[in-house]
Amino acid sequence: MNVKNNSTQFGLVSKLIHWLMAALIIALVAIALYMDTLPRGAEKSELFSLHKGLGVIALASIFLRIIWHRITKVPSPIGEGIKLKMAHAGHLALYLLMLAMPISGMIMSLAGGHAINFFDLFTIAGFAEKNEWLNGIASEVHYYAAQALYVTLAAHVGAALYHHFLLKDDTIKRMTSK
């Protein structure tokens, strides 16, 4: 397997970043949904800390993904016309949402006066003085970006399955196989 992408296939680095992001998003969503069911307390605090730490990793990963995307060629697209435009729009939306979620989450936390503890390796201190206005905006962005991300991810997975099972092309194979 090639480390870099080529004209027909994503390379090892692209695949690892893609599936790392997928695993992080699944974990972050699962933790967030579970946290919402819990009362305030130690378990919820621990999960918030885990959620924030994974969010920092997700933010670093999306930046890594963007940089890698810029320095290596991308395989030629499969499809044309409106389908290709929809794929480009969907990928752009995914990138924007994968940036908006951790950035808004960090701002929400910091503006609320809460630190971000990155797995006890380092801590980003919350604002000394809470900023309710900024916290409120970041909270709204985080909430609505999450809703948009759910829809966009469902469309992304649905499109991949459509290509694989109905069109029977190599779209999924480019991100999964050798």
Q: Per-residue pLDDT tens for 54-70?
A: 999 999 999 999 999 99
pLDDT tens-place string over residues 72-118: 988 988 888 999 999 999 999 999 999 999 999 999 999 999 999 99
The number of domains in the chain is 1
In which domain, by residue range, is 45 found? 12-176
pLDDT above 90 coverage of the chain, percent:
91
pTM greater than 0.85 (yes/no): yes
Average pLDDT, the chain: 96
Whether 94 and 153 have beta carbons less than 8 Å apart is answered as yes
DSSP letter at 114 equals -
Q: Is residue 88 part of a domain?
A: yes
Q: Sorting pLDDT into bands at 50, 70 and 90, what band is 178?
A: low
72-86, 125-139, 144-158 — which is least confidently predicted?
Answer: 72-86
Q: Is residue 47 part of a domain?
A: yes
- Where is 85: in which H helix or E strand? helix 81-111
Between CA 65 and CA 76 the distance in angstroms is 18
Q: Is residue 130 part of a domain?
A: yes
